Structure 1
Amino acid sequence: MPEVIFPGPEGRLEGRFTPAPRPRAPAAVILHAHPQAGGTMNNRMVQLLHKDFVRRGFATLRFNFRGVGRSQGTFDNGIGELSDAAAALDWMQQIHPEAEVTWVAGVSFGAWIGMQLLMRRPEVRGFLSISPPANMYDFSFLAPCPASGLIVQGLADEVVTPSAVQKLVDKLRTQKHITIEHKEIPGANHFFENEMDELFKVIDDYLDFRLDPDCPIR
């Protein structure tokens, strides 16, 4: 997957991009965990998400938020990082303008950014939210949530309380016209270090369902 440098709000952003194998293929943007807690686009889970979407024929981009790796700028408590994510989506749409569907996948802090992005970009039609920090950040902007998606939580998460994520899920499930799939994995910590296989079994089952041409969720 080739390295790419594209313009962001505070200078260049560094990413890895795999082009789509066909016109009108779906697109996916993957957002990493908190930059000040070691999150980068090269974290294991982010790389595996990238490979999973590529295997399914997506045009796929992961990138470093500002101040991480070769990306310019400094950490901006989520405000600038949301702008970075929007710039990444803009860049990918210029490279792959025929995408009929776009997905966003986020890990922890990246899940919070990703769900803000889908509120602002109607072309985002599906999301994967892994360990969303529902007890640390305000998710009330999801009113209403515009897209269906999957939320996955580890029951041994030492950072995010499963009860906070359950409360978020319960709130989203009261909304009409979307479907929220919620899976909890016993024994898994915040980054599913010892349960990565179980995590990707959940993700793959969900993507198999959503990407089926006969899926009732659109």
Structure 2
Amino acid sequence: PYGLLKIFPPQGVMTHFPSAEVDRKFTLKQIEVFKRLIRPLRVKYIHLQNSAGLSYKVPFANLVRVGLSLYGEYGSKDLKGVLKLKFPSRIGARILEVRRLPKGSCISYGCRYRLKKPSYVGVVSFGYADGFMRCLSNRAVVYYRGKPYPVAGNITMDLTAVVFGNVKPRVGEYMEIVNSRRKFSDLATLCGTIPYEIMTRIGERVERRLLK
């Protein structure tokens, strides 16, 4: 195979870490095997590391391919001691309606949540069709004016109910579904999945804005 490479010389060579965040022994062996395989080659670019792979030393490589870290997420817990990342994303949704309901009131489909005391309950314009997965029902919190409030009952296709207690929020104001205090990885942990699944589920009707 190396003879063919002399006819069509490559500019670069790469491999990909499948288990950098969970199997250090396997990944270290992969680095050594790859280093041995590319020894006969003379290429300009060599790259192995994804986001989780940044916690490994690969002195013979000169490029990296980060994905998750671009969004301020750590692909591996080992990275927290190596990099200081800033979480750049925020997802907001408007409060559509607010009512004060009595103790024992049933919230959302299936009546999986009942108020333990009289409380203000808000309806937010964000549901599982927007990427707020149903596994976050009765588990996630969302933020209003910097403070967390619990999601109440089942998240529906287009709407989510939030309990505010004695705080009366203003209709039309925004709540934060995702921010630097509640990241994609935090939601993924609640759902027993990975941040990529949460991120790629954000629906098309969620407006994207790039802020400088």
Give the TM-score, by structure 2 length.
0.31
Higher Cα Rg: structure 1 or 2?
Answer: 2
